[in-house]
Amino acid sequence: MVGGREFGARLRRLYLPLAVFVVLMLFPFYWMLITSIKPNRELYSQKIMPLVVYQPTLKHYIDLLWETNFLVWTYNTLLVALVTTLLSVLLGTMMAYPLARMRFPGAAVVAIGVAATYLVPQPLLFIPMSDLINRLELGNTLTAVMLTYPTLLIPFCAWLLMGYFKSVPRELEEAARIDGASRFQAMTRIVLPLCTPGLLSAGIFSFTLSQNEFLYALIFLAKSEVRTVPIGVVTELIRGDVFYWGQLMAGALLGSVPVAIIYSFFVEYYVAGLTAGSVKN
């Protein structure tokens, strides 16, 4: 193969489109970054080139970390995401397993019911939901969102895991049962370990959605100390009609970093998980 033609083709098919995508997807983050280190003077000036910073400053970050509850919000967000992920994956597994591998009366109804929960739009739910939360005296607690987020996550986890569970051959399970294993043991010792990528995948997806949620957090978490990052940043860095842009961008960037890091470790699993889940369905 001659290098030139090969390279030309690769350029067209890979490098150019890749560059385009990277620029398009990452440009707002670059923007966040430079805005967060621009002093206000430069921010509001129309005359200078907006793509670079002339006199970078860390003032916005300092203000963000020192004067707001940002670190508390970060802690809350991660805690909520972790708990809801565990809860959703657990309940999702428990629902997906019978639906994928067992025959029992009412299976169709449950399957349709679970799919139907996805169709329910959030704006419809939040008033009855807040009534429920308040009756359980959970207003302004992280428990409120820990209980409500899984409603968005469990159906997806269940769907994803069903694909995985279906792909495990029955013979393995049956062999174990013949040897005396209970159904529960067959599930936990045979099938689940084989589906670890799927579990990881469901976990990552849940984690992502959970720390992205906005509407319920906005309504249930009114006190600053219990807020999550998206709510805290958007509501407290805006006073009246004034946006503290520098701090907002700093908060936005810092809020994105933990997730991005986690993702860089788990991207392979995420991709692999969606493979088995969706194609085999």
Partner 1 sequence: MSSRREFLTASLAATGSALAPRWATAAPKSMTVVRESSFIKPFDDYFAKTLAAEYEKQTGIKIVYEATSVGGMLTRLTTIAETKSGPEIAMTGLNHAHLFDNSLVDVSDVAGGIGKQLGGWHENVLDVVVVNKKWKALPWGNIGQLEVYRTDWFKEVGVTKFPETWEDLLSAGRLLKKKGHPFGFELGHGFGDNHGWLYPLFWSYGGREVERDGKTVVIDSAETARAVDFCRKFYQETMLEDVLGWTDVNNNKAYFGEQISCTNNASSILVVGKKDFPDIAKVTDHALNPAGPKGRFHVLNAVSHALLVHAPDQAAAKAFLKWLYDDKQMSRWLTSADAYYAPFLHGYDNHPMWNAEPRYLPYKESLKTSRPHTWPGPQGPAASESVAKYVLVDMFAKACRGDSTKDVIATAAAQLKQIYKAK
Partner 2 sequence: MAVRPATLARPAPVAGRPFTVRGLLEREGIFSWLMLSPGVLFLLAFVAYPFFYGMFLSLQDRRVASPGVFVGLANFVTLAHDAVFWQVTRNTFFYVAVTTVLKLVGGLGMALVMNQHFRGKNLARAFLLLPFIVPTALSTVAWMWILDPTFSVVNWLLVNGGVVKSGYSFLGNASLAMWSLVVVNTWRGMPFYGITLLAGLQTISPDLYEAAAIDGATTTQRFLYVTLPVIKPVLIIVTMFSVIFTFGDFQLIYALTHGGPANATHVFSTWSFDIGMSAGQLGMGAAVALAILPALAVLIVGLTLYLRRE
Phi, psi of 227 (to 5 degrees): -75, 160
Residues 180-239 that bind partner 2 (CB under 8 A): 180-185, 189-190, 193-194, 208, 211-212, 214-215, 229-231, 233-234
Q: Quick one: 62 or 260, whose CB is closer to partner 2? A: 260
Partner from partner 1, partner 2, none binding residue 239, C-beta < 5-8 Å depending on class: partner 1
CB of 242 to partner 2, least distance (A): 13
58 is an interface residue for partner 2 by CB under 8 A: no
Q: CB of 229 within 8 A of CB of 251?
A: yes
Q: For 24, what's the count of Cα atoms within 13 Å in the CB-facing half-sphere?
A: 6
Partner from partner 1, partner 2, none binding residue 71, C-beta < 5-8 Å depending on class: none
DSSP alpha helix (H) spans, 136-240: 142-148, 150-166, 170-178, 183-186, 192-194, 196-212, 215-220, 229-236
Q: Which residue in the set 65, 72, 132, 138 belongs to the binding site for partner 2 (CB under 8 A)?
A: 132
Residues 236-275 that bind partner 2 (CB under 8 A): 243, 245, 248-249, 251-252, 255-256, 259-260, 263-264, 267-268, 270-275
Q: Quick one: 58 or 120, whose CB is closer to partner 2? A: 120
CB of 62 to partner 2, least distance (A): 19
Buried b (16+ CB within 10 A) or exposed e, 252-266: bbbbeeebeebeeee
Q: CB of 168 within 8 A of CB of 191?
A: yes
Rounded Cα–Cα distance for residues 237 and 232 (Å): 8
Rounded Cα–Cα distance for residues 243 and 125 (Å): 30
75: which 2 tokens? 């802690």
Partner from partner 2, partner 1, none binding residue 17, C-beta < 5-8 Å depending on class: partner 2
Residues 139-178 that bind partner 2 (CB under 8 A): 147-148, 150-151, 154-156, 158, 172, 175-178
Q: Quick one: 111 or 238, whose CB is closer to partner 1? A: 238
The residues of the shown chain that bind partner 1, judged by CB under 8 A, are: 40, 44-46, 127, 130-131, 134-135, 137, 139, 218-219, 222-224, 231, 234-236, 238-243
Q: Quick one: 40 or 196, whose CB is closer to partner 1? A: 40
Q: Which residue bears the tokens 């997906």?
A: 96
For helices 70-101 and 229-236, angle between their N-to-C axes, nearest 10 degrees:
140
